[in-house]
Amino acid sequence: MKGVEFTAVQTSYLSAAAAKADVVLPSPLWTESKGSYTSLDGVTKSTIPMVKAKGDIKSDADSLKEVARHLKK
């Protein structure tokens, strides 16, 4: 990530990119998230959390909304 002034990463795991990031936003695992996905054959399915996330972790959407709210200031 040479030449990049600031890097933010949203992830469930400490990846190489996250290790180099200025800010890491925690992301719940797919087993902790409500949402949907589209399979390779074009079928969209809904998911429900199978386990409760530990700690005070926000959904991906809520984390991004919070970042956007702060950027507006």
Give me the tens of pLDDT residue by residue for the chain, a chain 73 residues long. Answer: 678 899 999 999 999 999 999 999 999 998 999 989 899 999 999 999 999 888 888 999 999 999 999 988 7
Residue 39 in domain: yes
**Are the C-beta atoms of 32 and 58 separated by less than 8 Å?**
no
Residue 69 in domain: no
- Cα gap 30→39, rounded to integer Å: 15
Q: Which domain holds residue 7?
A: 1-51
Cα–Cα distances (Å) from 31 to 11, 24, 28, 45, 63, in that order, read 14, 20, 8, 14, 18
Residue 24 in domain: yes
Q: In one letter, which amino acid is 16?
A: A
What are 38's strand-pairing partners?
Answer: 44
Residue 56 in domain: no
Residue 1 in domain: yes
CB atoms within 10 A of CB 27: 19
Centroid of chain to Cα 59: 7
Does the global pTM surpass 0.85? Answer: no
